[in-house]
């Protein structure tokens, strides 16, 4: 697995639109971890409320009772209870990260961000991601995150790039703006939803236009090299993979700048596109 793809895809199988059952998601994730493409895959993402169920599944599932499982916890409980969920997790569940929305669209993100920052400060072993709406208050929230990181707190940003409604899909200009804003603040970020495929495309079933994860790889690389918002947005609009590949392939042996990765309810779809584009050699097992 090329270095710039390591840990790119967090396994969000239990979340929409895939919505796999927890037992099926666990079995598939164990298979991913044992596969030749294991380095592509990040932790299994689970709701905070599902951690006890996941521990019971480790007891009941053949061959997993002694498994030490890397998980990322998605906050589906109030922010002040996220720390309790982490502290009560089964020791076989190695909680690597916690992700939570700090505000709804149109709300001030700063109060929720302050709560999540307190969680991060109290759990220095965790990487904490604050999901911030691409709306009013965004830049102030990024300033606060950058200040906290400079003070040593392991907190970073997360943005939604899709979902079950059109307003959850940012325009190329909106996404380029936050990529450049994070670049200017040296602030790592994650993305979630809508990034199953490599290049920008129209989903014929929903009518939504999705961002491509190779577009994002190229856009982040362009931003790291000093490109402005307009140029980064242009990279995000491309549907032809050839110029995107020319941009990303020189960095195959380097770590990704700023972009931590993205959650996807499918691991196989991104992997298939990577193989198809020649970024990963899928001809061996």
Q: What does the pLDDT look like over 208-260, one tens digit per residue?
A: 999 999 999 999 999 999 999 999 999 999 999 999 999 999 999 999 999 99
Topology of 3-59+66-277 in CATH? TIM Barrel (3.20.20)
Residues 196, 202: Cα–Cα separation, whole Å: 12
Res 113 pLDDT > 50: yes
Residues 192, 247: Cα–Cα separation, whole Å: 23
Percentage above 70 pLDDT, the chain: 96
- pLDDT value of residue 266: 95
Instruction: Check: CB of residue 148 under 8 Å from CB of residue 117.
Output: yes
Q: How confident is the model at residue 67 (pLDDT cuts 50, 70, 90)?
A: low
Chain mean pLDDT for the chain: 92
- pLDDT value of residue 164: 84
- pLDDT value of residue 123: 87
Residues 236, 216: Cα–Cα separation, whole Å: 6
Lowest mean pLDDT among 87-101, 107-121, 250-264: 87-101
Q: How confident is the model at residue 85 (pLDDT cuts 50, 70, 90)?
A: confident
- pLDDT value of residue 284: 46
Lookup result for tokens 């030749």: 36
Residues 265, 281: Cα–Cα separation, whole Å: 22
């Amino acid at each position: 697995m090329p270095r710039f793809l390591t840990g790119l895809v967090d396994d969000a199988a239990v979340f929409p639109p895939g919505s796999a059952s927890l037992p099926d998601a666990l079995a598939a994730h164990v298979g991913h971890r044992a596969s030749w493409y294991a380095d592509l895959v990040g932790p299994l993402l689970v709701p905070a409320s599902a951690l006890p169920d996941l521990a019971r599944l480790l007891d009941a599932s053949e061959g997993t009772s002694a498994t030490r499982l890397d998980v990322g916890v998605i906050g589906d409980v109030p922010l002040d209870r996220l720390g309790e969920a982490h502290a009560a997790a089964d020791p076989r569940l190695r909680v690597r990260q916690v992700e939570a929305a700090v505000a709804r669209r149109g709300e001030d993100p700063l109060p929720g961000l302050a709560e999540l920052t307190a969680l991060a400060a109290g759990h220095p072993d965790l990487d904490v991601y604050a999901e911030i709406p691409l709306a009013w208050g965004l830049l102030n929230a990024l300033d606060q995150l950058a200040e906290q990181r400079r003070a040593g707190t392991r907190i970073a940003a997360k943005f939604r790039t899709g979902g079950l409604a059109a307003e959850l899909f940012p325009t190329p200009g909106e996404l380029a703006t936050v990529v450049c804003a994070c670049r200017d603040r040296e602030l790592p970020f994650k993305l979630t939803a809508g990034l199953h495929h490599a290049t920008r495309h129209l989903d014929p079933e929903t009518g939504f236009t999705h961002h491509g994860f190779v577009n994002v790889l190229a856009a982040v690389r362009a931003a790291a090299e000093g490109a402005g918002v307009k140029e980064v947005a242009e990279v995000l609009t491309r549907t032809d993979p050839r110029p995107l590949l020319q941009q990303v392939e020189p960095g195959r042996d380097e770590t990704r700048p700023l972009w931590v990765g993205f959650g996807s309810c499918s691991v196989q779809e991104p992997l298939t596109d990577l193989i198809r584009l020649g970024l990963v050699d899928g001809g061996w097992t």
